Amino acid sequence: MMFQGNAEYTLDAKNRLFIPVKIREQVGDSFILFLPPREKCLYIYSEARWEEVAREVLAKNDRGYERLIFGNAVTAETDKQGRITIRADFCKRIGLKKSVTIAGTGERLEIWDTATRNEELARLAESADTYSDIRF
């Protein structure tokens, strides 16, 4: 499964975010929200892909690493309107406010505060020549 493209959405006052039908068709109505260490976004993984990630984490046999990873992952389920509720502590840690971007990054989706994502993309564009060996 490959995820690409991006779209902006609005986070409501109760931290609910609409997940488009196209995304739900790919990841299901239940999926994993993960707050990765040192990132300013949330990852969305399908349950099947998360099982692969979890096996890799467990294979390291490092309890500290397991605590860090599994403690920052939750199962999200869409309501009848196709929304998920994002935990308040997740919103606070990544600065998620009202304007939210869901972006495809290949094997996963990312949820960003739109302003933060725009800053990150501008920063990445400044070093785009480091990717010059990739043919488009």
Number of domains making up the chain: 1
Q: Is residue 11 part of a domain?
A: yes
**79 located within any domain:** yes
Is the residue at 63 inside a domain? yes
Whether the CB-CB separation of 7 and 20 falls below 8 Å is answered with yes
Q: Give the whole-angstrom CA distance, residue 49 versus residue 51.
A: 5
Range of the domain at 70: 6-129
pTM score, whole prediction:
0.91
Residue 135 lies in a domain: no
Does the pLDDT of residue 136 top 70, yes or no? no
Q: Is residue 52 part of a domain?
A: yes
Q: Given the DSSP bridges, would you call strands 83-85 and 99-104 parallel, antiparallel or unpaired?
A: unpaired
The pLDDT tens digits for 32-63 are 999 999 999 999 999 999 999 999 999 999 99
> Which CATH number goes with the domain that contains 27?
3.40.1550.20
18 Cβ neighbours under 8 A, 6+ residues apart: 9, 10, 81, 82, 83
Q: Is residue 72 in a domain? A: yes
